[in-house]
Amino acid sequence: MILFNPGPVNVSERVRQALLQPDICHRESEFSELLADIRQKLLKVFVPGEEDEYTAIVLTGSGTAAVEAALMSSIPTGKRAMVINNGVYGQRMSSMVATQRLGTPDLKYDWGIVPDPQTIDLALKQHPEVHTVAMVHHETTLGLINPVKEVAEVVDRYNRVFMVDSVSGLGGEALDIAGNKLYMVAGAAQKCIQGFPGAAFVLVRKGFMERMMKYPKRSWYLNLANYYEEQERGTIPFTPAVQVYYAFREAINELLEEGLDNRIQRFKGYATTIRTRLEEWGVKPVLAPTLQSNTLTAFYLPEGCAYQGLHDELKRAGYVIYAGQGQLEEKVFRIANIGALTNQNIEGFLSAFQSILSGARA
């Protein structure tokens, strides 16, 4: 089955074979070496030349686990978080801080609307209690890229902490973490890095990590201070998904060999091919080209096509697409183009899609 959903993704045979490494105990030196290698390589890929300024914290869980760990570990006593919310994943962060009543009113935008830095500037003036500002990099709801650089400049001007959810961005979208002075960036293995679900991570500025050691621990499993303290000693506080970590390392090795810029361009090329072809067939994207990510496109359902029928026929042909969410569930569908895909996979999918579309219009 070829997956055109936004994670989990198809992986290479090389990554799959990494699951077959010998069984090891996570309290032995072999696991310490594996963990150290993953942490070092994450920094090499995503903060090249600035590895001494950041630390990589790895945990077992989904991307949401990394986001929640970053967000809830970053708020000191007496302070709050502000979430910039323009999609399902911004709303998810808002729900996280709401569990302990640590948020201010969201800066909420309609789906597909880019956050306005001037509005954020005004909100930070009005809310001195805000310590952490959180935003999604790639809002997978519609495939929108949010303006990280512009928002980071505002947050930095007010000396606040900027936390970015780049679970579906890292590896597929350009992100200058050090240059934009991002304090925390959450990521996961199973999307653009092309690993398996179950391994997630947070890249954190070292100076801020040291400050967080003194912040309240609102969760035990998802507290970054617990992980940092243990991982700096070469161990981990809780039982990890060891075999998934082996595959994660192999996926990072593949990314280093391909080159981050080359991977971004590969995904961008796939997206361009898909968008061009579908638009030729009269299938319209939801977002303007300037707002679209390299890795996912939301399209309006063609006349006469219900999502379930389109999904099921494509699945019978060997391809999986993704539904819309929320109020757009009956109106749009999404095609992601990440993972160990080839041009042949893209062309095969497009051929199947065209055949199904022609049948629906006949």
Binding-site residues from annotation for substrate? 334
Task: Quickly tell me which residue has 């805000």 as its tokens.
Answer: 130
Contact predicate 186/164, CB 8 Å = yes
Q: What 3-state class would DSSP assign to 176?
A: coil
Q: List Cβ neighbours of 130 (8 Å cut-off, separation of 6 or more).
A: 79, 80, 81, 82, 104, 123, 124, 160
**How far is it, in rounded angstroms, from Cα 271 to Cα 57?**
31
40 Cβ neighbours under 8 A, 6+ residues apart: 51, 56
The answer to whether the CB of 123 falls within 8 A of the CB of 160 is: no
DSSP alpha helices (H): ranges in 158-288? 206-212, 224-231, 242-258, 260-280
Binding site membership: which residues? Answer: 334
β-bridge mates for residue 322, sequence order: 334
Q: Which of 140, 174, 179 is nearest to 162 (CA)?
A: 179
CA nearest to 263, candidates 202, 175, 204, 203: 175
